[in-house]
């Protein structure tokens, strides 16, 4: 089983979360390829058993690049495959439960009949350029460990 972790980033915070998830999945025995979203030239569902997709929250939703990437996730090919979505957003956005990139990604992938394995991981940044709030990298590790368990169970 091999999955693909795809992320967008402007200032590097979402990249840190993506790489933490990828490394932890690998440590848990799950193979993944990790891509900056602009480097995904062609996406074939035949190559991957699951998708983990993350974006910085911009104006309450995903970045335009991630929106474009979702156009490559063809519903017929990806239907029933597992996914997880994550984002970075301002801590105040999380506290006020305002809409976020990860939620919008999850909505779209569920429309494609994909199977959401875990609630969206929302990692808090303290300002637009970061840094990540203390503890968020560890939370991403825990999230990926849980994800690995679910993937192994085939849920
Ligand atoms: C144009 C723009 C719009 C943004 N809109 C929001 C927003 O609506 N809600 C929010 O919580 N953060 C917002 N942010 C802050 C981003 O979420 C933050 O810059 C991002 O998490 C940093 O991730 P990165 O380092 O991977 O680029 C915005 C940032 C930019 C540049």
Instruction: Compute the chain's Rg from CA coordinates.
Output: 14
pLDDT of residue 1: 86
Tracing tokens 């976020």 back to the chain, one arrives at: 100
DSSP three-state, residue 88: strand
Tracing tokens 């494609």 back to the chain, one arrives at: 112
Pick the CATH number of 2-153 from 1.10.8.870, 2.50.20.20, 3.40.1190.10, 3.40.50.360: 3.40.50.360
pLDDT of residue 155: 58
Q: Where are the domains of the chain?
A: 2-153
Residues in the chain, pLDDT under 50: none
Instruction: Kindly state the tokens that stand for 130.
Output: 């970061």
Among the atoms of ligand 1, which is closest to the Cα of residue 9?
A: 26
pLDDT in tens, 59-83: 999 999 999 999 999 889 999 999 9
Among the atoms of ligand 1, which is closest to the Cα of residue 12?
A: 25
Q: Which residues line ligand 1 (CB under 6 A)?
A: 9-14, 56-60, 88-90, 93, 125, 128, 130
Is residue 51 a contact partner of residue 89, using CB atoms and an 8 Å limit? no
Give the rounded percent of residues in the chain with a pLDDT score beyond 90.
95
32 CA distance to ligand 1 centroid (A)? 26
Could you give the CA distance from residue 8 to residue 153 in angstroms, rounded to a whole number?
Answer: 29
Is residue 118 a contact partner of residue 146, using CB atoms and an 8 Å limit? yes
Tell me the pTM. Answer: 0.98
């Amino acid at each position: 089983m091999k999955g693909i972790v795809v992320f967008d980033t402007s200032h590097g915070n979402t990249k840190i979360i993506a790489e933490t998830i990828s490394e932890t999945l690998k440590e848990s025995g799950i193979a993944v390829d990790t891509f900056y979203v602009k480097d995904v030239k062609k996406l074939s569902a035949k190559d991957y058993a699951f998708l983990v997709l993350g974006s910085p929250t911009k104006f309450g939703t995903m970045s335009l690049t991630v929106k474009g990437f979702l156009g490559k996730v063809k519903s017929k090919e990806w239907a029933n495959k597992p996914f997880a979505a994550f984002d970075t957003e301002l801590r105040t956005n999380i506290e006020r439960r305002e809409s976020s990139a990860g939620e919008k990604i999850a909505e779209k992938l569920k429309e494609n009949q994909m199977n959401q394995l875990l609630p969206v991981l929302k990692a808090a940044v303290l300002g637009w350029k970061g840094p990540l709030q203390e503890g968020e990298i560890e939370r991403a590790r825990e999230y990926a460990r849980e994800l690995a368990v679910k993937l192994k169970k085939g849920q």
